[in-house]
Amino acid sequence: MKKLGWFAFFVVFFASCLDDPDCYQLHNDIVGVTFRVMGTGKGDSVLLKNFATDKFEYGPSYQYILNYFVEEGVFGFESKTQTNQLSFGYTVKNQFISEDCGSAFVLSDLRILAHDLDSARVVNSTPSKNGGTNIEIYRCPETDTLTIDFNQLYATSNGVTITNKRSTYKSHQFDEIDADFSDNVFTGRAATVKLPVNLAERATAFVFKTGGSEETLTVSYTLTTEERYKPCGTQTFVTDLILGEHSFDSVSFGVDNLDEPVTDLQDPQISNLRVFDCPKTNLVQVAFKSNNAAKAVTIESITADYFTDNLLTDGPITSTTVALPVNMGANASTFYIQYNDGTIDTLALQYTVTGLQLYDACPDPVIIQLRESSDVANINVVQATLQYQNPPVTNVEIIVD
Amino acid sequence: MWRSSLIKIALLTMVATGVIAQERDSVRVDSLAKISFIPTGIRVGTDLISLGKTQFQEDFKGWEVNADVDFYRYFLALDYGGGSRTFNSDSGNYSNDGTYWRVGIDVNFLLKDPDRNMFFLGARYGRSNFSQDLTVYAHNQFTDTFELLTYADKGVNAHWYELTGGLRVKIWKMIWMGYTARFKFGLKYEDTEKIIPAEVPGYGQNYKDSYWGFNYQIFVRIPVRKQPPLVINSKKK
């Protein structure tokens, strides 16, 4: 026990001698500013101008270097639509560290002097040497934003059982999304769209326009007008969202961390509604090959025995693969693939249309036992069961030597 | 830094080994001996390390007087000292000058030693009053200029705590020598305007939460009454 005591004594003594001051990053001159949303307190990713690069950058928090030769400063937050300022003060002291390191500026007592933001507070009054949050800036929540994400359903089936059900985000090109109280509330390509609901009514109907097709969706909800956050004044909040009529394949509520449906409009937004596209069960995946390697071909047109219009509505394509829709109302389909050199491959397929559906909301049947109607030398069926996966699984190979 | 640390450890090892050996050979005390809390002497000494450093180290001036008085195995210890220190670097200079005192109790663990040599553990409370000056030559990255800053504080007060351990060995008649190792912690200083003390007289450097100190001391022990004799049973052979 006595030896252990002496040992401990020497260890502490020796360790204390080794602890020389660290000359790296002497000054604690970094202040972290984090943006949050009032109410939930969740982080808010904001688009601000980086004055060092003169570019706008997204971020939930930013780090600033303080000038330790003065004891006041101003942060300017320039977004694309507005500029805000926050002035602050701090105390600077100096400590001589060592003859090797010199002295360090020690900053403390960070405090907000004035600002024109919704709300701001100091959460750590001591600036740091390597980052962290010192000031939190809160903005009033947006109360009218409905968030919808778009997904593609997938599954695997052998014609008897269905496995590997899943979905992935799928971006759509929206030529225009109109609300019943305001036209063109969104344009562009996105997998998630944020749409305003009508705070003057208890329901909003949307029309999603893509190409020549339109999808519709209606939601109703409860409106509550009150002052929840003093800096924000009186606001109207949307809760108890109800999904009305829609023309999509499937729509369901998004869920939160507790797996509860997100029926209140929240800020920062999480998906209130999830739109699902059913898998197209009749697509035969064709791959073009040459010398056992993928070969890109230019296809002028694709027609079939059950449709005469060219499948390639946007003109010729150059690709190593193509997806051909077989006729689900029959057990055989024949396709005519015309290449840019004028040659034509005829792909005659037979298959079995089962009564099995991949999802309750998806009525199209599973197709199995794909095979050639008659054996053609340069055409091989390599996967007889259609798989509804991403990336697609090749069913037929066409040799184009 | 390394060389001084190694010297400290070597000294500590040598003296501690002697103490342990001595304790093993010591004799047994009569259990009927009466315990007396009346002091038998006052020991007054000084720190040789401070005096040596003052002589040979240009940037250090210091002195320290140590005294203790016994109450059976407990010793009331008082230290009083003064010092000044100068640090120079390429980017500035720091200097301080002040006095300090410490008060505390040491507990002797060598009760069987006929010479009253002692191995002790104890505690101290220390206070210091000092002035300090700092000159900083630093680059301002916002204006891309170099700036010279000078600061001065007068009458800065600081206090701290220490855990102590060491030896006192009778060398010859009234002359004693010993060392004291000090683990210093809990330094507080009053709010200084612009300078955070780099060093506090009596405490040491302030860049970390705790600090080790070491005194190598010589004492004169002034007896105030005759020490009660130890009643010793001779060892069985």
- Tens digits of residue pLDDT in B45-58: 999 999 999 999 98
| pLDDT value for B227 | 76
Which residue did the predictor score with more confidence, A118 or A54?
Answer: A118
Per-residue pLDDT averaged across A55-82, rounded? 89
pLDDT tier for residue A268 given thresholds of 50, 70 and 90:
confident
Per-residue pLDDT averaged across A193-201, rounded? 96
Give the DSSP letter string of A29-57. Answer: -EEEEEEEETTT--B--EEEEETTTTEEE
Percentage of residues in chain A having pLDDT higher than 90: 73
Which residue did the predictor score with more confidence, A397 or A101?
Answer: A397
Per-residue pLDDT averaged across B63-70, rounded? 95
Q: Is the pLDDT confidence value at A134 over 50?
A: yes
| pLDDT value for A14 | 53
- B208 and A94: CB-CB below 8 Å? no
| pLDDT value for B72 | 86
In the structure encoding, which two tokens stand for residue A352, read together?
Answer: 């079995």
Distance CA B180, CA B164 (A): 7
Percentage of residues in chain B having pLDDT higher than 90: 61
Please indicate if any CB of chain B lies within 8 Å of the CB of A7: no
Distance CA A255, CA A251 (A): 13
Q: Is the pLDDT confidence value at B77 over 80?
A: yes
Distance CA B140, CA B149 (A): 11
| pLDDT value for A18 | 52
- A67 and B142: CB-CB below 8 Å? yes
Distance CA B106, CA B124 (A): 9
3-state secondary structure of B42: strand
Q: Is the pLDDT confidence value at A29 over 70?
A: yes
Distance CA A365, CA A367 (A): 6
Work out the mean pLDDT of chain A and round it to a whole number. Answer: 90
Distance CA A369, CA A367 (A): 7
Distance CA B137, CA B146 (A): 7
β B74-89/B60-71 pair status: antiparallel
Per-residue pLDDT averaged across B206-211, rounded? 85
Q: Is the pLDDT confidence value at B191 over 70?
A: yes
Distance CA A22, CA B155 (A): 29
Percentage of residues in chain B having pLDDT higher than 70: 82
What single-letter amino acid sits at B11? L
Q: Is the pLDDT confidence value at A11 over 80?
A: no
What single-letter amino acid sits at A136? E
Lowest mean pLDDT among A7-21, A84-98, A149-163, A326-340: A7-21
Per-residue pLDDT averaged across A280-287, rounded? 92
| pLDDT value for B225 | 83
Per-residue pLDDT averaged across A256-276, rounded? 93
| pLDDT value for B25 | 45
| pLDDT value for B35 | 76
Closest residue of chain B to A67, computed from CA coordinates = B142
pLDDT tier for residue B74 given thresholds of 50, 70 and 90:
very high
Please indicate if any CB of chain B lies within 8 Å of the CB of A24: no
Per-residue pLDDT averaged across A299-303, rounded? 95
Which residue did the predictor score with more confidence, A238 or B193?
Answer: A238
- Start-end of H helices in A143-247: none
| pLDDT value for A54 | 81
Per-residue pLDDT averaged across A16-40, rounded? 82
- A94 and B87: CB-CB below 8 Å? no
Q: Is the pLDDT confidence value at A330 over 60?
A: yes
Per-residue pLDDT averaged across A203-225, rounded? 95
| pLDDT value for B22 | 46
In the structure encoding, which two tokens stand for residue A209, read together?
Answer: 């326009």
| pLDDT value for A26 | 87
Give the E-state strand segments of B92-226 in sequence order.
Answer: 92-108, 118-140, 145-172, 175-189, 195-196, 199-200, 204-205, 210-223
Chain A nearest CA to B196, separation (Å): 5
Please indicate if any CB of chain B lies within 8 Å of the CB of A231: no
pTM comes to 0.70
Distance CA A106, CA B21 (A): 50
User: Could you give the ipTM of this predicted complex?
Assistant: 0.75
| pLDDT value for A12 | 55
Give the containing element (helix H, strand E) for A103.
Answer: strand A102-115
Q: What is the pLDDT of residues B125-142, one digit of tens each?
A: 999 999 999 999 998 988
Per-residue pLDDT averaged across A292-319, rounded? 93
Question: Using omega within 30 degrees of 0 as the cis cutoff, is the peptide bond preceding A363 cis?
Answer: no
Work out the mean pLDDT of chain B and round it to a whole number. Answer: 84
| pLDDT value for B226 | 80
Residues of A in contact with B198 (CB under 8 A): 95-97, 103
Give the containing element (helix H, strand E) for A387.
Answer: none
Residues of A in contact with B18 (CB under 8 A): none
Q: What is the pLDDT of residues A336-377, one digit of tens each?
A: 999 999 999 999 999 999 999 999 999 999 999 999 998 898
Residue from A7, A96, A106, A109 to probe the interface with B (highest B Cβ count within 10 Å)? A96
- A94 and B134: CB-CB below 8 Å? yes
